[in-house]
Chain A
Amino acid sequence: MTSVKLKSVKKSFGAVDIIKGIDLTIEDGEFCVFVGPSGCGKSTLLRIISGLEEATEGTIEIDGRDVTGEEPSKRGIAMVFQSYALYPHLTVRENVGFGLSLAKLPKDVIRQKVDAAAEALQLTHLLDRKPKALSGGQRQRVAIGRAMVRDPKVFLLDEPLSNLDAALRAQMRIELTDLHRKLGATMIYVTHDQVEAMTMADKIVVLNSGRIEQVGSPMDLYNNPVSPFVAGFIGSPKMNLYDGPVAAAQGCKTYGIRPEHVVLSATNGTWKGSVRHVEHLGADTVVYLVVPEMGEIVVRVSGDFKAAHGDILWASPVAGREFRFN
């Protein structure tokens, strides 16, 4: 059973604490996503699990074994880098088989494993090319292939899709999910993109300045965010969040309502405001309403909703969908 356990892991660079004490268990076969804004420590945490960085304090267990002081190559992990990190002077075949040849495996075994991985990733026809001659998506697959042939217990993926264009990214999200299902391996995936987190994860770990903000399934985080930070991070467009008098009027420190949980009416409602801007996305329309007593509220309505700059509209929250944080 390949679980990954972090126990009070801390990391500081000089006087700066990057990771401020993290306890986390990732279950066998889980697709776990670390998400958070840049600088929150998610990549550092992944690198600590991989062994590329050493934790200042705390222990890491993989598969029930303490690997805190272990070499990266002995931890049973494989990693896919944001830049793919393919060796430019080696062919695809040599890239994928590099680790196996370092381990002095017999040539025919290496060949067999590389061929199998190439088959699974539809790379067979590219095996003799150098990385330079590949497209972004193909390089991405080679990087995954290189991870696969090591038969790792845990896959570590560091923003693997951020160098791809939007269309390819959507396609790779599905391919990665398929791969995870097929291999059944534990995967830890780092991203700053909440869409990737929501669409792929079994478990999302939201990190904020070196601490875990919340752990849960995607819908769990969407429905029950524990803090304004998580509430604002998960979901698009962002949740409307209000401090000060607006929140005080609701009897809390921060009051939040998601754009999709506000209804608009021309005649009556809770807040009266004037339309500042309208974005037509096709299926949906996003309305930016300026309400004098609270500032701006963003509202998502269906695509056929008609509104124009300067219109006066009423907005009301959907009952039971409001969030009050203290």
Chain B
Amino acid sequence: MTSRQRNTGIIAFLAAFIIFILPFVFTFFMAVKSRQEAALFLFTWPSEWHFWSNLVEVVQARNYMLLLAYFNSTIITVGAVALLVIFGAMVGYVLQRRPSGWNKLIYAGVLMGLMVPPAVVPTIWVLQGLGLFKTIHGMILIQVAYGLAFSVLLYRSFIATIPRDLDEAAIIDGAKPWAIFFKVILPLLKPVTVTLILVQSIAIFNDFTNPLYYLPGRENVTVQLTLFNFQSQFQSQFNLLFMNILLVTIPPLIVFVIFNRQIVAGMTAGAVKG
């Protein structure tokens, strides 16, 4: 490393620290301050540390709403991501392996899914007709519908790297279509599946707009909605609001620290193809 590269690195680090890291430090300080101190908004070192008391208070607020929200968000995320993996891989597989006129139709759907903003009120109308409005499973299916295009593209491009000889060897071994897919292809999709799970989990966990429209009601609250609801409720309790932000930021941080490489792979692979 040249001295120029070292000096540039130090300058870049200082700039990155001010621009990207300080806002998180600010959030953390606010979260541990006392109510009065937090109300001052100042970016100062906390004079008293109220980490635990703030944490307990925010968790207990509104009859443990945050725990309910975590529960709901987890169910939505896990359910939607599981379906996205299976459905996305199955469509990507047929799309890549079987050239036909239908593919144009599927591609048109994928393009629409990536580009077209969902028509929210008509969607509510459909959900109501199906009895899925304000339900967790309705929300899961919505996330599946909105995430499919990305999943299909990601899987399609990965499946293109799996030699067709493997399918044919399985055919000769007597495998039925479902066995070729579930016993031969799906296990080989593991790397891209890990990536997809991470990227989609974070997107769905962080989603605010869709639960806002399709999942109103106290008992259906999701993590992002608690934040939004608390914003008005905690007008005078900024320490608790920021503690809430902290709690919402921690899951993606942990996931990011552990799976940095796979997330980066997914973001770029999917994006460059898209």
Q: Which residues of B contact A98 (CB under 8 A)?
A: 170, 173, 183
Chain A's closest residue to B184 (CB) is A87
Q: How near does chain A come to B212, taking the closest CB pair, in angstroms? A: 42
With contacts A85-B166, A89-B188 taken as known, whether A50 is within 8 angstroms of B172 at the C-beta atoms is yes
A88 at the interface (CB under 8 A from B): yes
Q: Which residues in A have their C-beta under 8 angstroms from that of B171? A: 52, 71-73
CB 8 Å contact bits of B170-213 with A (1 = contact, 0 = none): 11111100010001100110100000000000000000000000
CB distance from A65 to the nearest CB of B (A): 17
Flag if B188 contacts A81 (CB, 8 Å): no
**A–B pairs, 16, beta carbons within 8 Å:** A72-B171, A73-B171, A73-B172, A73-B175, A78-B172, A81-B165, A83-B165, A85-B163, A85-B166, A88-B188, A89-B187, A98-B170, A99-B175, A102-B173, A102-B174, A102-B183
Contact between chains at B173 and A52 (CB < 8 Å): no
User: Which chain A residues lie closer than 8 Å to B219 at the CB level?
Assistant: none
CB-CB under 8 A from A77, the residues of chain B are 172
Task: Give the docked Cα–Cα distance between A81 and B175 (Å).
Answer: 17
User: Contacts of B173 on A, CB cut-off 8 Å?
Assistant: 73, 98-99, 102, 146, 150
Pick the residue among B169, B174, B179 that contacts A79 (CB under 8 A). B169
- Total A-B pairs in contact (CB under 8 Å)? 56
CB contacts (< 8 Å) of B172 on chain A: these are 50, 52, 72-73, 77-79, 99
Identify the 5 closest CB pairs spanning chains A and B, nearest first. Answer: A99-B173, A73-B174, A85-B165, A85-B169, A89-B187
Query: Which of B163, B170, B179, B190 is in CB contact (< 8 Å) with A83?
Result: B163
**How many whole Å from A207's CB to the nearest CB in chain B?**
21
Task: Assess whether B168 is interfacial by the CB under 8 Å rule.
Answer: yes
In the assembly, what is the distance between CA of A89 and CA of B166, in Å?
11
Central interface residue in A78, A85, A99, by most chain B CB within 10 Å: A85
- Total contacting residues, chain B, CB less than 8 A: 17
- CB closest residue in chain B, given A147: B172
Scan A48-61; emit 1 where CB is below 8 A from any B CB, else 0: 00101000000000
User: Which of chain B's residues 46-72 have a Cβ closer than 8 Å to chain A?
Assistant: none
Assuming A99-B173, A146-B173, what are 13 further A-B pairs, CB within 8 angstroms? A50-B172, A52-B172, A72-B171, A72-B172, A79-B169, A79-B172, A81-B169, A85-B165, A85-B166, A102-B173, A102-B174, A102-B179, A146-B169
**Are A81 and B168 in touch, CB under 8 angstroms?**
yes
User: What separation, in Å, do the CA atoms of A82 and B171 have in the docked complex?
Assistant: 16
Q: Which residues of B contact A78 (CB under 8 A)?
A: 172
A132, B203: Cα distance in complex, Å: 35
B174 touches A85 (CB 8 A): no
- Tell me if A103 is interfacial: C-beta within 8 Å of chain B: yes
Nearest residue in A to B174 (C-beta to C-beta)? A73
Q: Once the chains are docked, how many angstroms separate the CA of A146 from the CA of B172?
A: 11
**Interfacial chain B residues near A102, Cβ < 8 Å:** 173-175, 179, 183
**B179: which A residues are within 8 A, CB to CB?**
102
| Nearest CB on B from A239, distance (A) | 35
> When chains A and B are docked, how far (Å) is the Cα of A105 from the Cα of B139?
44
Contacts of B187 in A (CB 8 A): 89
Provide the bound-state CA to CA distance between A78 and B173, in Å.
8
Mask of A40-54 contacts with B, CB within 8 angstroms, 1/0: 000000000010100
What residues of chain B lie closer than 8 Å to A87, measured between beta carbons?
Answer: 166, 169-170, 184
